[in-house]
Amino acid sequence: MGIYKLEGTVPLGPMLGILPQIGADVGNGITADVDGAEVTIQFSPLSPSGYSVMPSTLTVTVSFSEGVFTPQCAFDLLVDATQNVLDMIRVTQPTTGLPGTLPNFSGVVLRRDSTVEPLGFDWREGYREVAMIIRPQELQPHANDFRRAVQRELNDDWDLDILIAQARHYAQMNWESNPSLSMFLAALVLETKMKRVLWRDTPSDMQEAMLLEVPKTAPLKFEVLKLFSSVSTKYLGRSLKKERPKLWPTVQKVFKDRNQFAHQAVHATRTEANDAVRCARRVMLWLDGGSQQNYRH
Q: Are residues 58 and 172 in the same domain?
A: no
What sign for the dihedral angle of Cα 117, 85, 178, 167? negative
Q: Are residues 112 and 174 in the same domain?
A: no
End of a domain among 67, 91, 117? 117
What per-residue confidence (pLDDT) applies to 89? 85
Q: Are residues 112 and 150 in the same domain?
A: no
Q: Are residues 208 and 142 in the same domain?
A: yes
Task: Calculate what percentage of the chain has a pLDDT beyond 90.
Answer: 46
For residue 297, is pLDDT > 60?
Answer: no
What per-residue confidence (pLDDT) applies to 275? 93
pLDDT in tens, 35-80: 889 999 999 988 776 667 788 999 999 999 888 888 999 999 999 8
Q: What is the mean pLDDT of residues 265-274?
A: 90
pLDDT in tens, 211-242: 999 999 999 999 999 999 999 999 999 999 99
Q: Are residues 146 and 281 in the same domain?
A: yes
Q: Are residues 285 and 143 in the same domain?
A: yes
Q: Are residues 142 and 284 in the same domain?
A: yes
Q: Are residues 266 and 160 in the same domain?
A: yes
**What domain count does the chain have?**
2
For residue 173, is pLDDT > 70?
Answer: no
* Structural domain containing residue 196: 131-292
What value does the mean pLDDT of the chain take?
85
Q: Are residues 110 and 136 in the same domain?
A: no
Q: Are residues 148 and 70 in the same domain?
A: no
Q: Are residues 139 and 64 in the same domain?
A: no
Lowest mean pLDDT among 121-135, 152-166, 171-185, 244-258: 121-135
For residue 83, is pLDDT > 80?
Answer: yes
Confidence of residue 253 (pLDDT cuts 50, 70, 90): very high
0.95 exceeded by the pTM?
no
Q: What is the mean pLDDT of residues 186-201?
A: 96
The residue among 95 and 200 whose pLDDT is bigger is: 200
Q: Are residues 147 and 79 in the same domain?
A: no
End of a domain among 117, 146, 170? 117
